[in-house]
Amino acid sequence: MPDSISPTGDGLIIDMIRRFSQDRLAPLAAEREKQRRIEPEIIAELAELGVFGATTPAEWDGSEIDPVTYALLVEEIAAGDGSVSTMVSVHNSPTCVVVNNNGTDAQKDRWLRPLARGQHVGSFGLTEPQAGSDASNLKTRAIKHGDRYVINGAKQFISNAAHPGALVFFAVTDPDAGKKGLSCFVIDKSHPGFSIARTEEKLGQKASDTCALAFQDMEVAEDQRIGAEGEGYKIALSTLESGRIGIAAQSVGMARAALEYAIGYARERRAFGGAIIDFQAVGFRLADAKTQLEAARQLTLHAARLKAEGRPALEAACMAKLFASEAAEAICTASIQTLGGYGFLADYPVERIYRDVRVCQIYEGTSDVQKLILQRML
């Protein structure tokens, strides 16, 4: 990849992404929200930088960066625009990770290469209207007829679905087998029988599409099943570490952007003869927020380092996701408070960032689910 991410993973990568984020993403984030879309030229530039191949090995045209560098990359993109960071995060992990870790060479050649090059934007279809955190309660059904499956059902809250590209999704192949009855499939979003039922209106991250999907008598070939029948639940769980590290990093990036703006404002805003940052009520609030931000970043990087070293990282990833997502909302609240009435106006970025960051406590496992997992690991 010319002038893009290299597999060695050093500070030059993050410097490059930071410049792109601040020059190309942040200035138009508010306009992107109004338009409810991410510009094709931004997607093309991210592809040229190698961002869409961040979690994919070089042999499949990926950038193959290490987990720590990937976390920092997501943080920097999120600091520019939370919506863009969601597109990048969902595309890389879980979508590309599932195909890379579980697909055959033929599937990787067909699906992973264009994803890694950024020719396609990947989506991940697990959640259904009645099944969010409880992935064993899926109703989408895949019935086998010879060498093909006929699939009927629905998915909910699916990111990137409006972009052309691959959709990795899960369906029940054996309804009597419980968790062992789920299987994983991949299709192109132009596949006959697949449709977008609606695009949701949301509180935040409005430039990132979130869609309800429908499968109606959709036929897929057997070679579009990823892994063996019944391995779907295991495949879905295998993405938890990297996915939750990504959302933690995203939380840190958005919170950092809000806090940096608030600190800059507090240095310039004058009241009672001095800058408001010199008043203890304001200064202490910002000091607390910066401490929370650094704690969230270190938890995130710790989980990423464990994963990079090949050590178990699920507990650390859950802790990072839980703490970073909740700290980010508190940091954005502190930032709004620092701006006073201006913080409540859409003319200033902290209002948008506050709305964008709220969903980080919900997707990739709610805060309640993180606590349940951590409780079981005690």
Helix axes 67-80, 280-308, angle to 10 degrees: 140
CA distance 189 to 192: 9
SS3 319: helix
Q: Which of 33, 75, 76, 364 is catalytic?
A: 364
Question: Which backbone phi and psi does 128 adopt, to 5 degrees?
Answer: -125, 165
Amino acid at 290: K
Q: Are strands 141-145 and 148-159 parallel, antiparallel or unpaired?
A: antiparallel
Nearest CA-CA partner of 290 in 245, 255, 319, 253:
255
Q: What would you measure as the largest C-alpha separation in the chain, in angstroms?
A: 80
CA distance 3 to 306: 29
Residues 6+ apart with CB under 8 A from 15: none
Known active-site residue 45: no
Catalytic residues: 364
